[in-house]
Structure 1
Amino acid sequence: MGTPRALLNWRSLRWKIALLVAAACCGIALTVGLLVHHSTYERSMNEGAAKAYTALDTALAPGPGSGGADGLVHTPEEMPPKLVRTVRAQGSAAAYDESNPYQPRMWAARRLSGGRLVAISVDMTSDQLSRRALDRHMWKYSLAALAVIVPLSALAAELPNRRLRRVARTARRIAAGDLAARTEVGGRAGDEITEISATVDSMADSLRDRLRGEQRFTADVAHELRTPLMGLVTSTELLPESEATELVRDRVRVLRALVEDLLEISRLDAGVERADLRPVALPDMVRGSLARTGLDARLTVGAAPAVVETDPRRLDRILANLLGNAHRHGGAPVEVTVEGTTVVVRDHGSGFPDSLLLEGPQRFRTGAAERGHGHGLGLTVAAGQARVIGASLLFANAADGGAVVTLRLPATG
């Protein structure tokens, strides 16, 4: 059985199947009911007409044992008008008269020599009651069958519906980044739901393999670059002092920082990083990080300073990257607000691009639409370190302009 919420969701697949079955049953019941009603009515009319003709023949038969003239009607005004018209045109006819709904009658009439009309009627009340009873029984048992079939069809639809919900949950977990999630939905070969679940599992395997390939490539590139880079750093120190030498050294420092970031991202992607958690006074930690970066920022601390359980080194790395990104790609002034276990870093630049707000930070995202000329790896490293220490990092744009990053840290237990 599904959850109560799923049971009450009338838009779910199980209830759509149940309603479809109910509609099909109603269509079949209506068709069969109309056919049976029409067939029964025709048979009743034929039998009633035969009974009326027999009564008329008996009443007109001469000699002893005949019905004589009992029940015969000789005045056309006492006969149904339709019967009179038909008899005058054809010589004999039968007609059903429901002018009195509580006592219907079947009439039979004949035109005698001289143009005289004679008719007789027989009571059809019992036939009418039988037909009505049959109609009631058909409707009653059709509704009873629906009352049984609809819940049974809903129960029968619950098994495939449950399997589909499991596939949907797995797909959402994969979309959220859990590439180890699998549907584990059993079924026979050729079953559509089994094929869907197998496709979702195959997609997760493909994404995992591709991601691992990218992670290995990033790590290999960073490791291969590290050795020649160290030689390049040493060589730049031996160059004579000049403006060109300082420019080369600056670019080498940027390249070294990039390689270090790549190595850090590869370790974060591999999941080998572990946090060294300890109680930390958050306002003091933020002040220290601001001082170490040497960047200008306006710090505001709330009335209730908080102590958080975190890794000071990793938190310092996160704050340094957020402040560096704000100064490099945003606009002054940069504001840092500490409130409880939350740290908010805001600049007054052009704000984050829509792609970052939608997908989160992506490594090497560049382009004219980005802040400045791309946000590089700083935000990617900050997001990875936040995951390691159990914090959440949210990206948004302020209503009056500027990028806002909110870091929420877990409080001490």
Structure 2
Amino acid sequence: MRSARAAGPRRAVSLRWKISAVIAAVSILVAAALSVIVHVTYARRQADDARRLQAERVELLLREYRRSGQAVFGGRLDDPALPPDLRAAVRGGAVATALRRTGEGTFVWAAAGVDGRVLSLRSDYRHRLDDLAALDRVLLLGSAAVVACGGLAGIAIGARLSRRLRRAAAAASRVTAGDRTVRVGAAVGGRSHDEAAELAHAVDAMAEALQARLEAERRVTADIAHELRTPLTGLTTAAELLPPGRMTELVQGRIRVLRALVEDVLEVARLDTATERPELSDIALGRFVSRRATALAPGAHVRVRTDTVVATDPRRLERILANLLANAVRHGAEPVTVEVDGTRIAVHDRGPGFPGDLLRDGPARFRKGGDRTTGGHGLGLTIAAGQAAVLGARLTFANPPGGGALATLDLPPARPCPA
């Protein structure tokens, strides 16, 4: 059970919105690139067509001029508005075209040299620009439709993947909580054999392997503890037959310690099976803790801020309280205080505090380290955490700023205690 107090998790951005944003961004880039390409290509083709058509017209004017000696059909001789570069390009009888933009608008020119003079023709380019603007509007609407469809497709794809991953995470959490019937692959569902399905099957395989290993370890531990009961019974009987004396007392004391250790190991093995069920009954928590704490640790100070009636298992709750008080008395320092506030029970001592690995990883069996675990086996807090899980309670450990060690048990919600 994790006990260190950590900051709340940062709110993660949903995978659905990340995928949607990426697809929308790609759609915008593709639509913009295609629109630019189509615009440039169409504009260039329009200009080429206009210049070719204007060149054909000026050649027709040139033939009429040679036949009649006059400029007809809008043609002009030596037009002063003719661009200088176009005038220079037609010297020697050549034909040239140009597209020019002026303050009056955009025009397409064609000119040809004849008899030392320049015959030119100017046509308005406005209608072609109107066609290009209409094309731009169509491209804009098409791009918006592409981006909208891409965004909706991204939302749909991302929502499906996100939904499957959330189901996988929920199933994995249930597996972590000890539910052996849950399979992540079944929770993910779907007929597609994609990465999400592969991940789910890999998690299931890992969970089954870990469960098999834990089950094997639990069976070995339980078998060893059961096998030790028989010789312990014989040792206890033999020790009672020894003559009174100091050595007899030492042997009997060690046998009692060994018997208590074997019983603790058996209890841990039972809690590991995750099959333990509480026998609930209504108790007044403040009065219950006051009586039990006084009996278990006579030197402890008990304060009841708010008394409530809770539905819990008295035997398991007493076991948790006994282990927490024993840990505080054995490894802490006086004064030891027990405070009841609603459904919360806090056991505080003034010792050196819990070791860092316990705050980081929670209690672990047979782990020693730091002043608080010297001489112990790590089973007391492990059993307390396991019994708390059976009760649906939350047991946390902390070293308060004022010093010492603080163990807090939060039971499920309760109703006020009647006066």
Same fold (TM over 0.5): yes
Aligned to 2:328: 326
Distance 2:19 2:276 in 1: 49
How much does 1:87 deviate? Answer: 4.2
How much does 1:73 deviate? Answer: 4.3
Q: Give 1:10-409 correspondences, 5 Å limit.
A: 11-61=13-63, 62-64=66-68, 67-68=71-72, 70-75=74-79, 77-87=80-90, 91-100=94-103, 103-114=105-116, 116-183=117-184, 184=186, 185-188=188-191, 190-302=193-305, 304-368=306-370, 371-372=373-374, 376-409=378-411
Distance 1:131 1:149 in 2: 26
Q: Which amino acid aligns with 2:107?
A: R
Structure 1 residues 324 and 124: alpha-carbon distance in aligned structure 2, compared to 1, 3 A threshold: same
Q: Equivalent residue of 1:48, what SS?
A: helix
Q: Equivalent residue of 2:67, what SS?
A: coil
Q: Equivalent residue of 1:296, what SS?
A: coil
| Alignment deviations for residues 184-216 of structure 1 (CA, whole Å, 9 cap, x no partner) | 123446422111111122222222222222221
| Alignment deviations for residues 13-47 of structure 1 (CA, whole Å, 9 cap, x no partner) | 22333333333333332233223222222222222
Distance 1:222 1:153 in 2: 58
- The farther-off stretch of 225-234 and 310-319 is 310-319
| Alignment deviations for residues 159-181 of structure 1 (CA, whole Å, 9 cap, x no partner) | 23221221122223333444433
Contact 1:330 1:371 in 2 (8 A): no
Distance 2:140 2:279 in 1: 74
Q: Equivalent residue of 1:381, what SS?
A: helix
Contact 1:350 1:371 in 2 (8 A): no
Distance 2:12 2:216 in 1: 44
Contact 1:396 1:403 in 2 (8 A): yes
Distance 1:52 1:194 in 2: 66
Structure 1 residues 287 and 26: alpha-carbon distance in aligned structure 2, compared to 1, 3 A threshold: closer
Distance 1:375 1:14 in 2: 48
Q: Equivalent residue of 1:227, what SS?
A: helix
Contact 2:346 2:409 in 1 (8 A): yes
Aligned to 1:5: none
Q: Percent identity?
A: 44
Aligned to 2:8: none
How much does 1:258 deviate? Answer: 0.4
Structure 1 residues 287 and 112: alpha-carbon distance in aligned structure 2, compared to 1, 3 A threshold: same
| Alignment deviations for residues 113-147 of structure 1 (CA, whole Å, 9 cap, x no partner) | 54x44432122221121122112111122212322
Distance 1:69 1:314 in 2: 110
Contact 2:363 2:381 in 1 (8 A): yes
Structure 1 residues 260 and 130: alpha-carbon distance in aligned structure 2, compared to 1, 3 A threshold: same
Contact 1:25 1:146 in 2 (8 A): yes
- Coordinate RMSD, CA, aligned: 2.9
Query: Normalising by the residue count of structure 1, what TM-score does the alignment of the two structures yield?
Result: 0.86
Q: Which amino acid aligns with 1:293?
A: L
Aligned to 1:6: none
Structure 1 residues 41 and 369: alpha-carbon distance in aligned structure 2, compared to 1, 3 A threshold: farther
Distance 1:89 1:256 in 2: 122
Q: Equivalent residue of 2:102, what SS?
A: coil
How much does 1:105 deviate? Answer: 0.9
How much does 1:227 deviate? Answer: 0.9
| Alignment deviations for residues 274-312 of structure 1 (CA, whole Å, 9 cap, x no partner) | 43433333333323323433552122232x433333333
How much does 1:252 deviate? Answer: 1.9
Distance 2:29 2:274 in 1: 60
Structure 1 residues 165 and 372: alpha-carbon distance in aligned structure 2, compared to 1, 3 A threshold: same
Higher relative CO (Cα under 8 Å, sequence separation at least 6) belongs to 2
Distance 1:63 1:272 in 2: 113
How many residue pairs end up in the alignment?
401
How much does 1:236 deviate? Answer: 2.4
Distance 1:164 1:256 in 2: 48
- The farther-off stretch of 170-179 and 37-46 is 170-179
- The farther-off stretch of 52-61 and 132-141 is 52-61
- The farther-off stretch of 245-254 and 63-72 is 63-72
Structure 1 residues 68 and 376: alpha-carbon distance in aligned structure 2, compared to 1, 3 A threshold: closer
Q: Equivalent residue of 1:104, what SS?
A: strand
Q: Which amino acid aligns with 1:285?
A: F
How much does 1:255 deviate? Answer: 1.1
Question: Structure 1, unaligned stretches of length 5 or more?
Answer: 1-8
Q: Which amino acid aligns with 2:295?
A: R
Distance 2:78 2:365 in 1: 107
Distance 1:177 1:148 in 2: 44
- The farther-off stretch of 179-188 and 366-375 is 366-375
Question: Structure 2, unaligned stretches of length 5 or more?
Answer: 1-10
Distance 1:348 1:113 in 2: 117
How much does 1:336 deviate? Answer: 1.2
| Alignment deviations for residues 52-106 of structure 1 (CA, whole Å, 9 cap, x no partner) | 222322333222597548431415x5222443454469954211011136x3211
Distance 2:307 2:296 in 1: 22
